[in-house]
Amino acid sequence: MVDFSRVQKELQECNRDINVSGISVNPKSDNLTNLIGTIPGPTGTPYEGGTFKIDIDLPDGYPFEPPKMKFATKVWHPNISSQSGAICLDILKDQWSPALTLKTALLSIQALLSAPEPDDPQDAVVAQQYLKDYQTFASTARYWTESFAKTSSLGVEEKVQKLVEMGFPEALVRSTLEVVGGDENMALEKLCSG
């Protein structure tokens, strides 16, 4: 069984200093096993200015088993799969420790964004490019950040406006958008179906 009282405490703790760290964790639905975390792209990197969403799945053994995390936002990074969002990070695998929390794990992911490890890649194509042609890598990463990590956060108000105009209540629109990760078409589909 997942230790829900610990997860609750973690969420409170994490959202308390959200202004300092910029890292937030929120439940995706009613149960606390599916969560969504957001981290700001570290400054001085091609990911600067972007907001990255991370899908978090808590296994039954949490906190004695590592949480399953993957990027929901598309990212161009040697240690993150450009297709699936899978993250290659030791603390999410064999170096996990129960003293780590969702917040510290997200902080480690943020650190990974600023310090890629191309010698231990998750995405071989990106790693190759990083090693052979850093300039192209940096511009691709910046472009991906611009197109995937920013629109969802910048245009959120417009999307809410648009969906509200269609006749859905604003609170529901906001929560639905949050759940689907900011995709307006998916949100509309969900609103219509449910």
Partner 1 sequence: MSLPGNRTRVLCKFFAHGACLKGEHCEFSHDWKDPANNVCTFYQKGACAYGTRCRYDHVKVPQRQASASSSTYPYQYTLPESITSSSSPSSAIILPGVITELSATSRPYTSQTKSPWAEGSGQNDLIPDVITQSRTTNPADIAICSFAAAGNCPRGETCPHIHGDLCPTCRKQCLHPFRPDEREEHKIGCEKKHKHLEALKHSQEIECSVCLERVLSKATPAERKFGLLSECDHPFCISCIRNWRSSSPTSGMDVNSALRSCPICRKLSYFVIPSVIWYATKDEKQEIVDSYKARLRSIDCRHFDFGNGTCPFGTSCFYKHAYRDGRLEEVVLRHLGAEDGQTVIAKDIRLSDFLNRMRIR
Q: Which of 1, 5, 157, 165 binds partner 1 (CB under 8 A)?
A: 5
- In the complex with partner 1, which residue's Cβ is closer, 11 or 113? 11
Which string of x and - marks every residue 35-74 that binds partner 1 (by CB under 8 A)?
--------------------------x-xxx---------
Of 88, 100, 107, 186, catalytic = 88
Which residues, numbered 83-102, are part of the site for partner 1 (CB under 8 A)? 93-100
Sheet with 34-40: strands ordered across: 24-27, 34-40, 51-57, 68-71
- In the complex with partner 1, which residue's Cβ is closer, 57 or 65? 65
Which residues, numbered 114-173, are part of the site for partner 1 (CB under 8 A)? none
Q: Does 178 bind partner 1 (CB under 8 A)?
A: no
**108 contacts 87 by C-beta, under 8 angstroms:** no
Does residue 171 sit in helix, strand or coil? helix
Cβ–Cβ contacts within 10 Å for residue 107, how many? Answer: 15
**Separation in Å, CA 88 to CA 19, 83, 192:** 27, 13, 37
**What's the rounded Cα separation, in Å, for the pair 97 and 90?**
11
Please indicate whether residue 88 is annotated as part of the active site. yes
Residues that bind partner 1 (CB under 8 A): 3, 5-6, 9-10, 13, 61, 63-65, 93-100
